[in-house]
């Protein structure tokens, strides 16, 4: 089920990914550089790689690459009228961006393609999700527990910019579809979004999941 990152999104979304690249950090703002003074080398590398992907994706979308500020909960604060999402894990980094007029929110998450411990699986999932993990494990999807985990992280990244609220792992359930690499998220918490749609892919040792919430008219239930 290997597919390109761009295939996880509609044509309204620009994406960029990188693996273990040496990146010149001169594009960072002075606030970002100040933030990096007090973090570990690993965090520094991941932060720069994520921001680099975000800037490149903005350029691809013909968006003037503005600085991305750091919100109170660690969320990226995108330039005016832009939505986006960043992920980084074990040398891999990716970002997705779009114009707010096309897309309400985005979530992208990368995890290593490895088993998820049964303890974590229990903590994050309901019976139906666990049944899916049991049924598909080792077939087309080697590590479905991790796909599920990643889908939930992507859900949170897409949910948070809309609501500015916490969403627990058991406040959203993922229904993976039998055909293809798609899933529907059913949000259990009261709020403007009850359903989201996503896709996943596995490539070169990484699982990447993506959520795209289209602009309001079609998706938001008031
Ligand atoms: C925030 C969280 C989703 C990040 O995921 P992760 O796998 O740990 O890390 P990733 O590398 O994939 O993503 C990190 C990026 O997420 C983004 N991010 C952080 N907090 C965020 C938030 N509240 N909303 C949106 N994006 C956020 C940032 O851009 C960050 O990178 P940066 O700090 O370099 O800018 C995760 O740490 C977390 O808190 N999860 C618990 C909430 C949750 O997932 N609930 C499940 C709901 S079903």
Are 88 and 119 members of one domain? no
| Residue with CA nearest ligand 1 atom 14 | 87
Enclosing domain of residue 183:
108-219
Are 117 and 190 members of one domain? yes
pLDDT of residue 23: 94
Are 161 and 200 members of one domain? yes
DSSP state of 181: T
**Closest ligand 1 atom to the C-alpha of 170?**
48
Contact 189, 78 (CB under 8 A): no
With cut-offs at 50, 70 and 90, classify the pLDDT of residue 2: low
Q: What is the pTM of this model?
A: 0.96
Are 123 and 169 members of one domain? yes
pLDDT of residue 221: 40
Q: What number of other Cβ atoms are within 10 A of residue 141's Cβ?
A: 22
Are 185 and 213 members of one domain? yes
Does 56 sit in the ligand 1 pocket, CB within 6 Å?
no
Does 169 sit in the ligand 1 pocket, CB within 6 Å?
yes
Are 125 and 26 members of one domain? no
Are 61 and 137 members of one domain? no
pLDDT of residue 178: 84
Report the separation in Å between the CA atom of 149 and the middle of ligand 1, taken as the mean of its atom positions.
12
Report the separation in Å between the CA atom of 102 and the middle of ligand 1, taken as the mean of its atom positions.
23
**Which of 42, 64, 99 lies at the terminal end of a domain, its last residue?**
99
Report the separation in Å between the CA atom of 157 and the middle of ligand 1, taken as the mean of its atom positions.
6
Are 25 and 127 members of one domain? no
Q: What residues have CB less than 8 Å from 118, skipping those under 6 apart? A: none
For 216, half-sphere exposure in the C-beta direction (CA atoms, 13 angstrom radius) is 5
Are 35 and 119 members of one domain? no
Q: How far apart are CA 6 and CA 202, in angstroms?
A: 13
Are 45 and 78 members of one domain? yes
Q: What sign does the dihedral 44-107-214-162 (CA atoms) show?
A: negative
Residue 1 has pLDDT above 60, yes or no: no
Please, which residues bridge with residue 203 across strands? 206
Are 84 and 169 members of one domain? no
Report the separation in Å between the CA atom of 3 and the middle of ligand 1, taken as the mean of its atom positions.
23
Q: How far apart are CA 162 and CA 19, in angstroms?
A: 30
Question: What is the CATH number for 167?
Answer: 3.90.470.20
Are 21 and 70 members of one domain? yes
Domain count, the chain: 2
């Amino acid at each position: 089920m290997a597919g390109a990152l761009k295939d996880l999104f509609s044509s309204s979304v620009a994406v960029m990914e990188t693996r273990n690249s040496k990146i010149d950090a001169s594009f960072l703002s002075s606030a970002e550089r100040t933030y990096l003074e007090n973090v570990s080398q690993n965090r520094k590398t991941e932060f720069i790689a994520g921001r680099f992907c975000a800037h490149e994706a903005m350029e691809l979308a013909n968006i003037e690459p503005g600085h991305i500020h750091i919100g109170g909960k660690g969320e990226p604060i995108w330039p005016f009228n832009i939505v986006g999402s960043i992920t980084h894990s074990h040398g891999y980094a990716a970002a997705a961006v779009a114009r707010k007029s096309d897309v309400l929110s985005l979530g992208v998450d990368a995890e290593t393609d490895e088993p998820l411990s049964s303890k974590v699986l229990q903590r994050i999932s309901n019976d139906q999700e666990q049944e899916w993990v049991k049924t598909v494990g080792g077939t087309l999807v080697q590590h479905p527990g991790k796909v599920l985990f990643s889908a939930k992280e992507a859900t949170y990244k897409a949910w948070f910019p809309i609501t500015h609220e916490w969403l627990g792992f058991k406040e959203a359930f993922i229904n993976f579809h039998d055909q293809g690499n798609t899933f529907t998220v059913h949000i259990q918490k009261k709020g403007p979004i009850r359903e989201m749609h996503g896709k996943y892919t596995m490539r070169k040792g990484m699982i990447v999941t993506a959520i795209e919430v289209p602009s309001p008219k079609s998706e938001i239930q008031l």
